[in-house]
Structure 1
Amino acid sequence: MRKNVLITGGTGFVGRHLTQMLIAQGYSVSILTRNKKSNTKDVFYYAWDVEKQFIENEAVYKADYVIHLAGENIAEKPWTPKRKEAILSSRALSAQLIYNSLLESNSKIEAFISASAVGIYGAINGQAICTEGMQPANDFLGLTCQKWELAVQPFADQGIRSVIIRTGLVLGKDDGLLKKLSPIFKYRFGSALGSGKQYMPWIHIDDLCRIYLEAIQNNEMSGAYNAAITDNTTNQLFSETLAKVYGYKLWLPSVPSFVIQFALGEMSKMVLKGRRVSNAKLKTLGFQFEYENLENTMKDCLSR
């Protein structure tokens, strides 16, 4: 029988691409959703409600692996106190629901794989290259990612191989960062943000999905891994490269930091601050990134 992968957040940007890749690799996929769809021969939909702590237990019972992507979008709305609480609790509560369902059904899974973000190292500009062994930052981004990752610990305590994927900025055509920026840059209104010196750790959607596939198939994977390209991409370089892909040079001045701060409030730290990260831990496993050149990555994403 085919192995089954249960995905939370399976209808999102990463989840959609990952589902396609898993099916191509011979897996069946189960997706937890608040709005059920019709099943196909490869994809099965199950209802859940995190607030009510309800889940169709069959989803967990049939799963061989769980990939946990679900959670409030940290960049979707301003960081009001209520929004912050929703962001902080969303992944932890959903992971707890899956964990409780596993215990109640006495089910066994081979691995629990959870999304996190390179934001765990904080919204702090600096030259240091962050590795998985560094302590989490104590700002909102760092504390949020730390809480997401602590929700994985109960699975590890049960002897389940547990993997955490600390993701950078995901580049793809149909969603994510490029979808937001493309209309602006396509019509030659692109510019750098703030000082432009803030680092932007990025990753191609295909490479990210291949990392999740590696986490399923490679029993040596355990603990946290940075999923981003190790380079010196700053916001200035990112903006210049995207403009180049569209056939022009940046001509507009950078957007002043105070304008971004006024528009986004505390959330402005996400675009005005950034850290470099190391992917050496992944590479020691033998994983090879297919997309490490920013310009070629942008061209690939925007030509699809």
Structure 2
Amino acid sequence: MTKNVLVLGGTAFVGRAVLQGLVARGYTVDFVTRGQRKVDVTGYRTHHVCDRRDAETLRKCIAGVHYDYVFDISAYTRHDIEVVLHVIETSKLQRYVFLSSGAVYLPSQQLLHEHSLRGANPHWGRYGLDKREAEDVLFENKYNVPVTIFRPPYIYGEGNELYRESYFFQQVEKGEAIPYPATDTRVQFVHIDDVVRMMLAAVTNEQAENEAYHLAHPEEVTWEKLVRTCTRCAGETQLLPVSVEEMALLQVTAKQFFPFRDVMYKMCTDKLREHGLPQPRIGLEEGLRRSYDWFTRQAFQEPTIHAMNELARVTAYCLQRERNMR
């Protein structure tokens, strides 16, 4: 018998990919969004246009439907989860899969494990705290619903609307230099195809019931490695390292000239293997080549407002430094 699935989200990056993956695997899929984006996926059953935070509206949309699985991509707060669990018929619900975040952990320079302490992290602010509280609702399990939680670091790949890898690709297209933090910070990434494959595998894995997992490729990446890999995929441009001392001199943070915070993000992925879940298999260079191929097919517009408000000043400083060294 075909399984009924409810996806919360479905038109933005990860939600769209999960929706597409479920349809491709033969599930009967309904999804909920606010209707602010065009739907370009086919094969689903129903698109419910409503605010998931509005309990009465959501109840009317999904009334009388028994779902086997829920994939929650769009929850950010405790309330987001509580509304769904209060409204949905839970008697046949076999798994609630929630996409959380690695931002739930306390600041750490060490390798993070799923049992590492969660709490306030000034680098991520309210976002990390809200995701942690959303997890807590599911872990409390007062609705008696089996759950699986995934905590990714940085998700990238085809369809990514965040101005991250697309920033590097655009800099190459324009022939502009790329300043980057010359620090020893290590982070991890995960390609969107691995995200979908691993999340979908969890619903049929009994060991994944009431567990949390790191959704990351184990490869550790420095900022220099990231930008050099991007330029190998998209073409060469001038790379400008910015030291910690220079950032202090200029009184800037990495986020003011670079599309990532300069924060250590290392996550152990052994638990996936130990519980028989698929391993991430798309390495950074392969994933970025796929992402660049997608980027070249888009009419991608640089955001008019973004956090890199000191990019021009930092670039000018670095270019002058390079001229002085000749």
Q: Same fold (TM over 0.5)?
A: yes
TM-score (norm 2): 0.75
Deviation track 1:69-126 (CA, whole Å, cap 9, x = no partner) reads: 114xxxxxxxxxxxxxxxxxx4322211111113xx56431101111111222455x2
Which one of the candidate residues 252, 257, 274 is aligned to 2:264? 274
In 2, Cα distance between the equivalents of 1:92 and 1:191?
39
Kept in 2, the 8 Å contact 1:201–1:231? The answer is yes
1:115 matches 2:105? no
**Residue 59 in 1 paired to residue 59 in 2?**
no
The residue number in structure 1 matching 2:297 is none
Question: Partner residue of 2:116?
Answer: 134
Equivalent residue letter for 1:147 = E
Q: Distance in 2 between matches of 1:294 and 1:262?
A: 21
Instruction: Tell me, yes or no, if the aligned pair for 1:185 and 1:242 is still in contact at 8 Å.
Output: no
- Amino acid paired to 1:189: E
Contact 1:57–1:101 (CA<8 Å) still a contact in 2?
A: no
| Equivalent in the alignment of 1:80 | none
Instruction: Tell me how far 1:282 sits from its aligned partner.
Output: 0.7
Give the number of aligned pairs.
Answer: 278
Letter in 1 for 2:33: T
Inter-partner Cα distance in structure 2 for 1:69 and 1:51: 14
SS at match of 2:149: strand
> What does 1:68-147 align with in structure 2 at a 5 Å threshold?
68-71=72-75, 90-102=76-88, 105=89, 107-124=91-108, 126=109, 128-140=110-122, 141=124, 142-147=128-133
Cα distance in 2 for residues equivalent to 1:236 and 1:115 = 28
CA distance in 2, matches of 1:43, 1:184: 41
**Paired amino acid for 2:104:** I
> For the residues of structure 1 that align with 2:264 and 2:255, how far apart are their CA atoms?
19
Residue 5 of structure 2: SS of its match in structure 1? strand
Task: Report what 1:46 is aligned to.
Answer: 48
Identical amino acids, percent of aligned pairs: 21
The one-letter code of the counterpart of 2:121 is: D
Q: Name the CA shift for 1:237/1:66 in 2 (closer, same or farther; >3 Å).
A: same
Q: Flag structure 2 segments of 5+ consecutive residues without an equivalent.
A: 295-326
Deviations 1:21-68 (A, max 9, x none): 111111021111223989965231124324543313452633211111
Query: Structure 1 residues 91, 69: closer, same or farther in 2, change over 3 A?
Result: farther
Contact 1:242 1:298 in 2 (8 A): yes
Structure with max Cα Rg: 2
SS at match of 1:242: helix
Gaps of 5+ in 1: 72-89
Distance 1:290 1:188, change over 3 A: farther
Find the counterpart in structure 1 of residue 281 from structure 2: 291
CA 1:298–1:263: 2 relative to 1, 3 Å = closer
RMSD: 2.9
Amino acid at match of 2:236: Y
Equivalent residue letter for 2:273: K
- TM-score normalized with structure 1 length: 0.80
Which residue type is aligned with residue 63 of structure 1?
Y
The CA distance in 2 between the partners of 1:270 and 1:151, in whole Å, is 29
2:248 pairs with 1:248: no
Note the 1:191-206 alignment, pairs <5 A.
191-206=178-193
